[in-house]
Structure 1
Amino acid sequence: MSGLRERKKRATREALSWEAVRLAAERGLENVLVEDIAAAAGVSPRTFNNYFASKYEAIVWREVDRIVQIGDILRGRPPDEPFWESIEHAVLAIYNVEGTETPPSAEWTEGVRRFVSSPSLAAEFLKADAVMTRALAEAIADRLGMDVDRDMYPSVVAGSVAAARAVAQTQWINADPPVALGPLIREALGYLVRGGEP
């Protein structure tokens, strides 16, 4: 029963976060209220507040969740798989680059570009970056049998992966015409996997 409850809670969190992103892209961040997000997800504002402290947190949650999922996948990779292959598999599994991703519309990327550049969202992204890097570093440390608080390597790798992802996302947001995100993630991550060779 608790498993079903957790799945329902996760589905609600995902729905709220997605609606926050969608509405911010369509209307502009300043024109979206918590009440709008809750209504679009089919829940009450009170329910929204049980999951997120603000619309900004709801928007950023999607990226935090992706990194947590990458860490979970990394922990589950075969123990004898080369480390960087495991990293690549985990990241690409989340960003769906198996040829099924299509470019978004120009209106969508323009809407995303507008709201991610909002100063109101910047502080939330900064907080999220710290959480994401730590979560991935912990997964890397688990994978390698290291101590995330004593060994620098897991945090260095996590920061590098986060930087590659951020650069790819920036390129995706600014691409004209729009392009799919997945192949950009693959390309950026490839520089790390190949040891920095272009």
Structure 2
Amino acid sequence: MTEHSEPRRRGRPRGAKAGDTRTRILEAATAEFGEHGYEAASLRAIARRAGVDPALIHHYFDGKQALVAEVVKVPLRPDRVVRDALDAPVDELGARLVRAVLTAWDSGAVRPAAVAALRSAIGQGPVARMLREFLRREIMHRIAATLGDADDAELRAELAASQLVGVIMVRYVLEFEPIASVGVDELVRRVGPAVQWHLTGRFGSLDSDAPSAHNSSHGE
């Protein structure tokens, strides 16, 4: 075998610094997400654009979700926040989701970047498209999957998310009072049952005195 036929080595290119390689991967991910969106972009395509082996991406990043968080510079993994909240009994999902999301957004290290990312998501352009696809794939679909075989699981998940996004917009982006200053516990008590209702058609354990759908005037 001649020196020209030596197989390509896996891993970081010779002489490449870790910081340089990581930066190249992030730049490639930004370009790939911008051109193809979150769902269509693949780790293999990002690696090819960066000129590295695909396995090297996993050396620096925990999958495509982590790349998105790095690209938009948010020190938070919303897919993990939702995943942890969904690891709960069905009747506690609403309260757990509200608490998890608001606790994460209340962090001083997270809020500025998260607000900027949210503003980007509701705007136009490739970054907005990437964020919307990410949120739909990693959060909406994850919530819907938790609801099992319900025919309207995606609708339920989106309605629940609309409650959360509404609170986030008013509390952290618009900063309207008094909701901007209300404690997380109080918001969980008030908003949790509404989110639970959208998810399951029940108000959940936090609002056991609330009237059920069967006792409402709409059910008569």
TM-score, structure 2 normalization:
0.43
From the CA coordinates, give the structure whose radius of gyration is larger: 2
Larger RCO (alpha carbons 8 Å, 6+ apart)? 1
Larger helix share, 1 or 2: 1
TM-score, structure 1 normalization:
0.46
